[in-house]
Amino acid sequence: MARNKNALRGHFVQAYEPGQSEPGTEWLELAKWITTIGDDTQEETEDIAYYDGDGTPENEITSVAGAYTPEGTYDPEDPAQALIAGLKYKTGEGRKIWHRVVSADGKLEWVGRATVSSIVAGAGDASEYEAFSCNIRFDTLPKETILTETPEG
């Protein structure tokens, strides 16, 4: 059984241009000063009972919205953090980015347009370093790709 450190999983972002259907090739890694990235995926379910069963309701997943919540120390000179911080006072399509997640073993990637919310880029106690955090939620199911080589950011 293989176990991989979370730090090996890659999270990358890039700017989104309205109407863009595919991301470009230049990605910014969201990693510097990031101490944790939570999985905030949300699922909607429906309980349904069928006549071909015994009447016991089955739990059916009707939608999945993949989301991640990076947290750490704010560095305004880090390109990935600066991209996200620059979205703080934007609305609508102004909050869209491309998000790419690469599995810790480097074998799979998921890419899709996403919305950034709950942006914190500089906050906290006076004695602490500035905080950075946000929620990056895919707008649709991301495209999953099997990678043949370990990806470069």
Q: Which token pair is 77?
A: 């000179």
Number of domains within the chain:
1
Q: Which token pair is 73?
A: 């120390």
Higher pLDDT, 140 or 148: 140
- Specify the CATH number for the domain of residue 95: 2.30.110
- 69-118 pLDDT, tens per residue? 999 999 999 999 999 999 999 999 999 999 999 999 999 999 999 999 99
- 55-76 pLDDT, tens per residue? 999 999 999 999 999 999 999 9
In a domain, 81, yes or no: yes
CB 72 within 8 A of CB 35: yes
**Is the model's pTM score more than 0.85?**
yes
In a domain, 30, yes or no: yes
Alpha-carbon distance values, 118 to 21, 129, 132, 144 (Å): 25, 19, 10, 26
C-alpha angle with apex 18: 88 to 152, nearest 5 degrees? Answer: 80
In a domain, 127, yes or no: yes
Q: Is 106 left (phi over 0), alpha (psi -120 to 50) or beta?
A: left
In a domain, 153, yes or no: no
Tokens 């309701």, located at residue: 57
The torsion angles phi and psi of 26, rounded to 5 degrees, stand at -95, 115
In a domain, 151, yes or no: no
Q: Identify any residues that bridge with 70 across adjacent strands, giving them in sequence order.
A: 37
In a domain, 56, yes or no: yes
Q: Rounded to an integer, what distance in angstroms lies between the CA atom of residue 21 and that of residue 97?
A: 12
Range of the domain at 61: 6-146
In a domain, 1, yes or no: no
In a domain, 59, yes or no: yes
pLDDT of 58: 93
